[in-house]
Amino acid sequence: MRITMPTAVIEGTQLTVMPFRADAVIGTMSVPTLVQLVPSPRREEDTKTLNAASGAVRRHAELRALVQRALKSTQKGKNVGSYAEYIADGVNGELGAGWSTPPITFWHAGPLAALSDELLPGTGLRTVTITPGTSVVAIDGETQTTAWHELYDDPERFGLTYAELAQVRVPFELYVDLSVADARQIFYDRNVQGVAVAKNLAMSMDQRDFATRLAHRVAEAVKMDIDGRLVPFTKFVNASKRQVGKAEPEVVTLSAMRALVITAIYGKGGLSRSAETVHEDELPAATTSEQVERCVVPVLARLIAEHSAHFLSRSALTAPAVLAGLGIAVHHTTPWADPSNALSADALDRLLAGIRWEREARYWDGVAAKAGVSGRLNFSGGVKDSGGRVADALLYPGTEAGRRIRGQ
């Protein structure tokens, strides 16, 4: 008598997915599944840990090295801790709905163990099975993958529990049975083909940044008189570009408004902060966020309203460096400014009264802009390059630059 063997059962991790091409699917997985399926990249770069690891983990590390860059001693690795804290804040509800992590791109190095039929006809939903020990590598989103490992290794350190992490769903896309060459190409395309967002522009989108919030409030506080009709200044602020085109209705960028706010708060010290997040606990000594807002917003709103014609005509006043210089001058009127350089609001108005805001080389060449061979001005020098020179010209009328911008 021969004993028949049981019907083969395919074991492994099952994921519910939606195919979007013949060799790729999308879906979500739990955090426990993620950390079980994909080994920690940080541990795979630890020689001692790797030597003691299983053969499957060592093989995974070798494969990962073919398609990924190193974490150790790189900025990528340094970002893991802050990324984990960001995710923890989001999971804890501290960021409201204003937080997000992109889907992680995984590479399944080999064929799937099993692919089911459609779970519900017409939906495209299927179940894929990944056998234990199969190499699944993050070819895009590895910093996030490492951050999830950090969170799951010690959730209490981040104010979380295993139960809370188990409820989180992590979006992913999974490429199946691709060659190493194809996986490398996807890594290249994801990291090189996209255009990086300029840091100043990115900062102007950060609603948790104190300076960005104040820039919005300043714009909201101003009403422009257009043919007898009051129009909110927000209509003339472009929040999505580094520069405003001639054919566009906006006259100034939000990043330029942010530079105005930052220098009004910090003075010349704000020039180096234009591309940094402004936290409320980093405001000038003996000030609060409420005090800074009560002081800065009305002053800047008044100046914009009084110079509305210069803004609408796209004069030199709309250039980021000029606005930064103006912010430095405004800083001297704040209660927290150095008393030896303090200015009254009336004194500031007198200093600004004679400024020639026209975009002409005879006024702004060498101060906030450079004139080309044709005489056309280029204001692209930037906040850090020219903001200080503009401030000195505004504050000291007797200097050569001060006389120049006053047409003397």
Domain extents in the chain: 13-195, 201-405
Q: What are 223-232's pLDDT values in tens digits? A: 988 888 888 9
The reported pLDDT for the residue numbered 9 is: 66
Mean pLDDT on 29-55: 87
Q: Which has more pLDDT, 283 or 374?
A: 283
pLDDT-based confidence at residue 199 (cuts at 50, 70, 90): low
What pLDDT is stored for residue 300 in this prediction?
97
pLDDT at site 5: 66
Give 108's strand partners. 136, 176
| Ramachandran sector of residue 197 (left: φ over 0; alpha: ψ -120 to 50; beta: rest) | beta
Look up tokens 């994801």; give the residue: 190
Predicted confidence at residue 201, as pLDDT, reads: 66
The mean per-residue pLDDT over the stretch 204-227 comes to 88
Reply yes or no on whether the pLDDT at 61 is more than 80: yes
pLDDT at 67 over 90: no
Instruction: Give the burial string for 217-236 (b: 16+ CB within 10 Å, else e).
Output: ebbebbebeeeeeeeebbeb
The residue with greater pLDDT, 273 or 74, is 273
The predicted pLDDT at position 200 comes to: 60
Q: Give the relative orientation of helices 383-395 and 345-353 as an angle to the nearest 10 degrees.
A: 100
Write down the pLDDT at residue 377.
76
pLDDT averaged over the chain?
A: 89
Q: Output phi, psi for 398, to 5 deg.
A: -80, -10
CB 299 within 8 A of CB 326: no
Instruction: Please compute the mean of the pLDDT values over residues 60-71 and round it to a whole number.
Output: 83
**Is residue 299 over pLDDT 90?**
yes
Alpha-carbon distances of 140 from 111, 136, 175, 282, 360, rounded to whole Å: 20, 12, 11, 34, 48
